Amino acid sequence: MRLAFLGPAGTFGEEAALAYAPAAEFVACVSHAAVAKAVESGQADAGMFAIENSINGSVAETLDVFVHQTRLRIQAEVLLPIELFLVARPGTRPEDVRVISSHPQPLGQCREFLARHFPEAQLEAALSTSAAVEAAMRRNHTAAIGTRRAAEIFGAAVLAEHVQDVSNNVTRFVVAADGDVPPTGRDRTSIAFTFADDRPGSLAGVLNEFARAGINCSKIESRPTRATLGEYVFLVDFDEHAETPQGRAVLDAIRPLCSEVKVFGSYPRAR
């Protein structure tokens, strides 16, 4: 199995890939959009995508990939505990740090730590935690927030451990590939839908169908359609497989209420 992830080596995407399929051949990519393209082009059999963090919420890039850019189906999810470290070139002192770099998600997960200990530092977004650590090794007065593995790979010194604002920090990853997986009895389905008109009660009408079916919606949010300001795509996760009688019935019930319904996939819920 060839498994694509947001690289380079040392990212949480790699950790999630190792947890999911330790014997796989790994394909490092520069973005989640590139992960999807690697699978679609046949360079990889499946892709690992960070989709949600317990502190910082959803990963917008991943949601947009599934809404706008790919027809890959989610087949599994992985829950990864997140431990973040502030690292820099050996010999760097905390008081020397003027710039702190990381992926936008870890920067958000360490907002209180950074405000408390580095209120004047300039924050820079990087493509990945590993890319931030690698770049920090080439720059003076620069630190990065990343994994302990990235620090070991690039020879960085750890300035502070466990810098995330909440100790039980967890990121949910999903694995996507071509095709669907069968029901297991403990499944989640992720969908997106839009409405032709912006009318009062449209969203309530869809959610009422889930309530009528006795199906729990575990997550709901929205993303811009990219077509017109003020128009949104609604995203819902619900606790049922799309191919069970209950799942098929609720999807059949909401389709006439929407202009489009896109199923991202049904997959076993991680324990």
Residues identified as active-site: 171, 173
Give every CB contact of residue 242 below 8 A, 6+ residues apart in sequence: 180, 189, 248, 251, 263, 266
**Closest-CA residue to 50 (of 155, 139, 127):** 127
Please report, to the nearest 10 degrees, the dihedral formed by the alpha carbons of residues 3, 105, 133, 121 taken in order: 170
Furthest-apart CA pair in the chain: how many Å? 63
Give every CB contact of residue 267 below 8 A, 6+ residues apart in sequence: 74, 75, 76, 77, 174, 175, 181, 187, 188, 189
| Phi-psi sector, 71: left (phi>0), alpha (psi -120 to 50), beta | alpha
Q: Interior CA angle at 243 toward 241 and 244, to 5°?
A: 75
Q: What residues are paired with 198 via a beta bridge?
A: none
**Closest-CA residue to 249 (of 222, 195, 212):** 212
d(CA 10, CA 103): 13
